[in-house]
């Protein structure tokens, strides 16, 4: 199987693996959605991720019950999950930092 260097794992990975697919998706996000707002709109359907959350009666930060009314379009978090969208954003930032280190 063909392999390619993965910045996230730090070694060669199979290009048909889930790890490589995830890294490609993160790289796509960095190039196709260059601004923070564009990334958040694609992943969360809202310009600022923090607006998806509110404090409940026990002063815990929770996802708003009406968060879908705040969203525009069909963001990734509705197709997969909030955790998946967060992971893509975090790993995209990590790739950016690794490839732009001075």
- Residues found in the chain: 102
Tokens standing for residue 70: 């705040």
Other Cβ atoms within 10 Å of 42 Cβ, number: 19
The structure's pTM equals: 0.86
- pLDDT, one tens digit per residue, over 13-40 is 999 999 999 999 999 999 999 999 999 9
- pLDDT, one tens digit per residue, over 58-83 is 899 898 888 888 888 889 999 999 99
| Phi-psi label, residue 15: left if phi above 0, alpha if psi -120 to 50, beta otherwise | alpha
Between strands 61-63 and 53-55, the pairing is: antiparallel
Collect all residues with Cβ–Cβ distance below 8 Å to 12 and sequence separation of at least 6. Answer: 3, 4, 5, 6
Domain ranges across the chain: 3-45+75-99
């Amino acid at each position: 199987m063909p392999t390619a260097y993965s910045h996230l794992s730090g070694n060669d990975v199979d290009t048909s693996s889930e790890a490589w697919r995830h890294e490609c998706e993160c790289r796509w996000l960095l190039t196709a959605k260059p601004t923070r707002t564009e990334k958040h709109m694609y992943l969360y359907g809202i310009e600022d991720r923090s607006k998806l959350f509110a404090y409940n009666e026990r002063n815990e930060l929770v996802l708003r019950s009406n968060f879908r009314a705040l969203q525009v379009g069909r963001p990734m978090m509705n197709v997969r999950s909030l955790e998946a969208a967060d992971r893509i954003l975090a790993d995209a930032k990590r790739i950016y930092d690794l490839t732009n280190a001075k």
